[in-house]
Structure 1
Amino acid sequence: MCGVFFCVFIFLLAIIFSYIFLRGEKKEPQKRAKLPTGTMGWPYIGETLQMYSQDPNVFFAAKQKRYGEIFKTNILGCPCVMLASPEDARFVLVTAAHLFKPTYPKSKERLIGQAALFFHQGEYHLRLRKLVQGSLSPEAIRNLVEGIDAIAASALDSWAGGHIVNTFHEMKRFSFEVGILAIFGHLDAYYREELKKNYCLVDKGYNSFPTNIAGTPFKKALMARKRLTKILSDIICERKEKKSLDKDLLGCLLNSKDEKGGILRDNEIADNIIGVLFAAQDTTASVMTWIVKYLHDNPKLLLGAVKAEQKAIRISNDEGNRRLSWSQIRTLMPVSNKVVLESLRMASIISFTFREAVADVEYKGYLIPKGWKVMPLFRNIHHNPEFFSDPQRFDPSRFEVAPKPNTFMPFGSGVHACPGNELAKLEILIMIHHLVTKFRWEVVGPNSGIQYSPFPVPMEGLPARFWKESTT
């Protein structure tokens, strides 16, 4: 009997110790990452109406103040995670760029062309980016100075006389001509006009409601895009027949071969040409429009200093009888260059960029679900007083010292940063030179306010009058 009780006792003891042992060995359940805080708004439309019923920058700034530098929202039917710190922007765009792909609405891909480099990742993207960046590098674009100089002089001459011009629209025309020069070199006048006419229709329909109904801006844009394909096909065919080794963008694309000897198809070349035109025109035109306004609004300190610098260059060029040189632009325009940098910061033409998580990503204890959009907020970073004191004040002198890393990203960052940034700065500085040395101007529209089309520009495109100044 005692033996039976003893066996039962041992059995119960074993159960107790096993329970205690297993309980001690059992791991604490891992804490599941949670979504960032924030609000998602109404079903499907989310908070789109709230964002577009006010200045989007005010919308994002209010969100950041309430929820911190990482927060969620829903824009245009897409759940989004917003990132408002330099560290977070670098994580998405550089450190973990492979986890976040560029994303655009399908309607925009149809108009630009699905083979355009900024719709891609991986080997194809790297190959195209290398080609585009190479054709727009400082070594390549230094040969464009004379051509851009002539385009700028001609453009400004057409504004003179005191009639009202829409500064933004005129700057778009100027940027388009510079883009044509960089892509094709000297292009036949017929092709130039056909490209311009049809590209303008595509541009007008780009941000319209995507419908195939006849007569709508989007439908007109689709038809114009087909015509652009035909025009570019003819240009490509002619260039192939010449078997030239031109160093412009078209030449680089035509003469490129991958490791296996493969060449780019004509449609891939055409899509990337249209993509470069889109990337170059509106953004650069917006910056130049803001510069005209900033110079106008600060005539004593800002405009005076830029004029003095540029007039000294003009005098050294025999009062403009000799063209600007590459070395003058690179070394003799420090004040103007800081004005450009401060304009890029203040205006923040690219307020944010879209990426999409290709997998569930855990970051700083937050979950970014696969398929969610991720948006680094460049403007919030550029206007953060922690990085730029008194950020609403236009102060070019702040660029006498280089900004802290990842706090100034006017052209984006990482593998998808704008490959044409050097060309943009070059054409802006050349435009400034002609503007301040030969013209005076008066803004005649609203003196404040911003409109989005979709990039931020002064109200009504900054209507202004321009007069030639006497150089005698």
Structure 2
Amino acid sequence: MAVDISNILFWVVFTLVGVISFSFMIHKISYNRKKKILPPGEMGFPLIGETMEFLNAQRKNQLFEEFVQPRILKHGKVFKTRLMGSPTVVVNGAEANRFFLSNEFKLVESSWPSSSVHLMGMDCIMQKQGERHRIIRGLIGTSLGYAGLEVLVPKICNSVQLHLAKNCRGQESISLYRLTKSLTFSIVFECLLGVNVEPGMLETFERVLEGVFAPAIMFPGSKFFRSKKARQQIEKMLVKGEISEQEVIDNVVLLVFAAHDTTSFSIAMTFKMLAKHPDCYTTLLQEHADIISNKRSGDNLTLEDIKKMKYTWQVARESMRLFPPIFGSFRKAIADIDYEGFTIPKGWKVLWTTYGTHYNAEYFKDPLSFNPSRFEEEIPPYVFVPFGGGPRVCAGYQLAKLNILIFVHYIVTQYDWSLHYPDETITMDPLPFPSQGMPIKISSKFI
């Protein structure tokens, strides 16, 4: 019987096509199952993305209201965008804070603009990862442990009182924000580091800070250029003051950056809230009157006295909740991250925000109202995050707390004061500050 070759070839080809098609279909199904599902959101224009909207909202201190919240309403608590040239996922909520801040070095790492890295220094703690970060942080933590704080309290008391006597006695009006900036600067150097503050040092440091979020363009006249030059001057000042190791210099610069504007802003917002809520001020004033009633005239505060300032710390924390000194911070994914059913690709940025919990009724009832008593109850972890969290939680947290409480004590017990502009607006450049420097009328109680 004759074999029909053409018929055989037809069935061979037909079978091969079927096998290939079936294999392709199986592969496609498997691929789709493994396919990365990115968070919802809009990437904006090429390269710049939504950077302009982000910066405009940040400059007006309306980052949450004008940028984050509208996108949460549209896309949910996790959304993608493009900021400063990088694809970025913005996350909100206590669980998001816990997940990303506690997974530092495992899934994410700190991510700062190149200008910040150049100005703070490659050897500062914000650039260290893993074990080296742990070692440096441990050294900082040792100086701010219980024994270190006991030594610091009388030093800070003396510094605050001298500063107030020099700048407030005989004055009718002062800039509270400017006063606290120069004071916190002096405390870092003189009380913590034992380095005398030289004339012009504060102004030089502030020129460094001006460029930490500016484009890293070394062009004469640019913000970064001026800041870089100021950084070189700072190195000469610190070496002259017998601080010579590069790692130490870099961490001193970072410490001033971390403590200087943030603590000053927190103090300013505490007084803003006290001025707006006289009933709270009355309660706070009584707390401090009770403390000095058990002390002899001229005695400094002790660490035990600081522990008694429970209501004052509630007021300060509620002020920081409403006016966080930082809006959040960026991390970079060092591996593909599966989160909330989405994939955040390796190399993408992650932005967590303080506002994601601070302004959320899920965590704080009636979140836009000022209510210090809410801090009588224990706040769950990763809900109140003005100092960050996880391995990179602010190492200077206890120093900031001392600065705030001691400053409040000496102002309210030794001076009468009132705000010139109770509704003074807050702006940012790059960190938040009262737009007019928060001028206050002030007079000594002992004149």
Q: TM-score, normalised by structure 1?
A: 0.84
159-168 or 447-456: bigger deviation: 159-168
Residue matched to 1:412: 388
Aligned-pair distance for 1:127? 1.3
* 1:329 has 2:329 as partner: no
105-114 or 207-216: bigger deviation: 207-216
* 1:165 has 2:174 as partner: yes
Residue matched to 2:224: 218
Kindly indicate whether the alpha-carbon contact (under 8 Å) linking 2:114 and 2:216 is maintained by their aligned counterparts in 1: no
Residue matched to 1:315: 293
Match of 1:56 among 47, 57, 63: 63
Amino-acid identity (%): 30
Alignment CA distance shift 1:205-1:33 (3 Å)? closer
Kindly indicate whether the alpha-carbon contact (under 8 Å) linking 2:288 and 2:413 is maintained by their aligned counterparts in 1: yes
CA distance in 1, matches of 2:149, 2:340: 42
Which residue identity does 2:247 align to in structure 1?
E
Which residue identity does 1:213 align to in structure 2?
F
Kindly indicate whether the alpha-carbon contact (under 8 Å) linking 1:160 and 1:465 is maintained by their aligned counterparts in 2: no
Match of 1:435 among 404, 411, 414: 411
Kindly indicate whether the alpha-carbon contact (under 8 Å) linking 2:155 and 2:191 is maintained by their aligned counterparts in 1: no
Which residue identity does 2:403 align to in structure 1?
E
Kindly indicate whether the alpha-carbon contact (under 8 Å) linking 2:358 and 2:384 is maintained by their aligned counterparts in 1: yes
> Secondary structure of the residue that 1:98 maps to in structure 2?
coil
Match of 1:33 among 25, 31, 36: 36
Kindly indicate whether the alpha-carbon contact (under 8 Å) linking 1:138 and 1:422 is maintained by their aligned counterparts in 2: no
Aligned-pair distance for 1:72? 0.9
Aligned residues: 431
CA distance in 1, matches of 2:71, 2:99: 21
Residue matched to 1:196: 202
Aligned-pair distance for 1:388? 0.3
CA distance in 2, matches of 1:462, 1:65: 34
TM-align CA RMSD: 2.9
Which residue identity does 1:175 align to in structure 2?
T
> Secondary structure of the residue that 2:82 maps to in structure 1?
strand
Aligned-pair distance for 1:270? 0.9
Residue matched to 2:372: 396
* 1:371 has 2:347 as partner: yes
> Secondary structure of the residue that 1:236 maps to in structure 2?
coil
Which residue identity does 1:180 align to in structure 2?
F
Aligned-pair distance for 1:316? 1.8
Kindly indicate whether the alpha-carbon contact (under 8 Å) linking 2:188 and 2:256 is maintained by their aligned counterparts in 1: yes
- The superposition leaves residues 265-307 of structure 1 with CA deviations (integer Å, 9 ceiling, x where unpaired) of 81111111111111111111110010111111111x1100010
* 1:66 has 2:74 as partner: yes
Match of 1:302 among 272, 280, 283: 280
Q: Which runs of 5+ in 2 are unaligned?
A: 2-7
CA distance in 2, matches of 1:380, 1:151: 37
Residue matched to 1:286: 265
Residue matched to 2:136: 128
Alignment CA distance shift 1:201-1:458 (3 Å)? closer
Match of 1:452 among 420, 428, 433: 428
Residue matched to 1:248: none
CA distance in 1, matches of 2:283, 2:74: 41
Kindly indicate whether the alpha-carbon contact (under 8 Å) linking 2:119 and 2:212 is maintained by their aligned counterparts in 1: yes
- The superposition leaves residues 416-454 of structure 1 with CA deviations (integer Å, 9 ceiling, x where unpaired) of 110110111011110110111111222223614321122
Q: TM-score, normalised by structure 2?
A: 0.88
Which residue identity does 2:298 align to in structure 1?
N
Alignment CA distance shift 1:209-1:460 (3 Å)? farther
Kindly indicate whether the alpha-carbon contact (under 8 Å) linking 2:276 and 2:422 is maintained by their aligned counterparts in 1: no
Which residue identity does 2:261 align to in structure 1?
D
- The superposition leaves residues 178-222 of structure 1 with CA deviations (integer Å, 9 ceiling, x where unpaired) of 11134422x34xx54364343233233434454433344432322
Which residue identity does 1:56 align to in structure 2?
L
Alignment CA distance shift 1:365-1:334 (3 Å)? same
